[in-house]
Homo-oligomer: A and B are copies of this chain.
Amino acid sequence: MEKTRFQAQMREYAKLVNAQLDLLVPEETVSEKPLYESMRYSLLAGGKRVRPVLVLGFCKMCGGTEGQALPFACALEMIHTYSLIHDDLPCMDDDDLRRGRPSNHRAFDEATALLAGDALLTKAFEVALSPESITQLGASRAAEGAHLLAQAAGDHGMIAGQVLDLQNDTLPQLTAQRLQMTDAKKTGALLRAAALLGTIAAGAGKSARQAAARYADALGLAFQIQDDILDVTGDEKTLGKPIGSDAEHGKRTYVSILGLSAAREKVQALTEEAVEALAPFGERADFLQTLAQALAVREH
């Protein structure tokens, strides 16, 4: 897909998602105001919106509408946001910054950040199963999607990845295999869910779901490796965060394990696999294939 058309589509999807999230978590003037400020601070902080874009892209590719995709798209972004808030807490990664701004518990306080994360996780299911969602999808698909979301975000998915990630810091040696297993759960599970939720929202069949899973798994790993590459080769200004921070913190990455050149080759091969996975969809896959390629050469 031509670059400006692709970028326009990305902007349109992000705008749609941002507007909907703004409606779903409005400003409130009740006593619990600080809770809503904290939820909105992280939820509306921008970012690439890769996960909701995947839901929208897969739903459209499979013949569904944006209205069908939106509840799952917003639910996923809420879960992604909650995981970042909790991940930054002092007892976890203890990060003061997120996307160039104070992390949630620094902008508010720990208790508020904890509860804002809990509230976003809970709201994700409220949104996925809302009356609007059920009107758009029917109860059966809404329930199937919300169940898949819980599995992907839960103790066998994203949370398992967070546990493994904490353990990795204490291991004497970290293999590429273990790193890959960690990432497949910590970030891969939600990315795979995003693609699958798009197919579920559209009511697509088994072969579309298999293609979606293959695409998302390849894209997820490529994304992670590219993150590690950018930490070495990136431009601080473009990236919005200091480079070399992984090495400085003694963090083992795909680059430190595989070397820069092998890591780059791997991103390329995985991107080709993601593109290939959607070949059966012909021209309809154009946007998602361009997305995979764009993420592989991204600079932030």
Could you list which residues of chain A lie within 8 angstroms of chain B, going by C-beta atoms?
25, 30-32, 34-36, 39, 86, 89, 91-92, 109-112, 114-115, 117-119, 121-123, 125-126, 129-130, 134, 138-140, 142-144, 146-147, 149-151, 153-155, 159-160, 162-164, 166-167
Contact = CB atoms under 8 A, between A and B. Distances in A.
Most B-side CB within 10 Å, residue of A35, A92, A126:
A126
Given A142-B143, A155-B32, A150 B125 contact: yes
Contacts of A118: 86, 117-118, 121, 159
Nearest to A127: B150
Given A32-B160, A119-B154, 10 more contacts: A92-B111, A114-B114, A115-B159, A118-B121, A123-B154, A125-B149, A126-B150, A140-B140, A142-B143, A143-B143
A155 B110 contact: no
A138 B151 CA distance: 20
A85 to B, nearest CB: 11
B129 A146 contact: yes
Number of copies: 2
A31 B86 contact: no
A150 B150 CA distance: 12
Contacts of A35: 155, 159-160, 163
Contacts of A147: 125-126, 129-130
A232 to B, nearest CB: 28
B121 A92 contact: no
B150 A129 contact: yes
Contacts of A122: 121, 150, 153-155, 159
